[in-house]
Chain A
């Protein structure tokens, strides 16, 4: 069964304390992997799309990386405004479906 698992479920960091969020996936074939940021009660905001192992993308304090089994979202020197839920989604080839993980709730303390 195709699965997307995100860890940890929740993470509390001090401002400036760098860390990484994990998204592991089990799908028959990967067409693309997506990262979104979601604020409470709002729609997900697109961050990155990754297509192949070894690919990396950066935006401000965020960097996303991809291997054959997982993706990491690295957050460098985070600020309180980076507090949000970060969602990972996988577009799998066989059924052409997009599967979301449950997200990681990130809280940055000032």
Chain B
């Protein structure tokens, strides 16, 4: 049973650039959430996608946007990168209507 996968594993960008991170949900899951985790902090909710639409959003600026595809995979896009965007970006998936979400290994983004 394939778990949640994310790509790339690591990424280095410079300020002002744009980045796209990718996520494939666990088999049988149709809902994907994205989180940002700064060093020493708990994950912070960015947004959730279900049926190819953003269903919920956390307290993040519009520079953070996403997309969900018909196969339930998802992308997170961040524009105009800031130094403070450096973090571990986590994708989590679940089956709509259930409560427990499962996380991928994360993408480590470094902004220089």
- Chain B residues, CB < 8 A from A91: 99
What's the dominant secondary structure at chain A's contact region?
Answer: strand
Interface assignment of B100: CB less than 8 Å from any CB of chain A: yes
**A31 in complex: contacting residue of B41, B45, B99, B101, CB < 8 Å:** B99
- Chain B residues, CB < 8 A from A99: 45
Least Cβ distance of B61 to chain A in Å?
A: 18
- B residues 85-103 near A (Cβ < 8 Å) are 88, 90, 99-103
Q: Looking across the interface, which residue of chain B has its beta carbon closest to that of A49? A: B100
**B42 in complex: contacting residue of A31, A43, A46, A101, CB < 8 Å:** A101
Q: Looking across the interface, which residue of chain B has its beta carbon closest to that of A48? A: B100
Q: Contact mask B12-47 → A, CB, 8 Å, 1/0?
A: 000000000000000000000101000011111100
Interface assignment of A96: CB less than 8 Å from any CB of chain B: yes
Interface assignment of A8: CB less than 8 Å from any CB of chain B: no
Q: How far is the CA of A68 from the CA of B82 in the complex (A)?
A: 40
- A residues 75-110 near B (Cβ < 8 Å) are 87, 89, 91, 96-103
9 pairs of residues in contact across A and B, judged by CB atoms under 8 Å: A31-B99, A43-B4, A43-B106, A44-B43, A89-B43, A98-B45, A99-B45, A100-B44, A102-B41
Binding site for B on A (CB under 8 A): 4, 31-32, 34, 36, 41-46, 49, 51, 87, 89, 91, 96-103
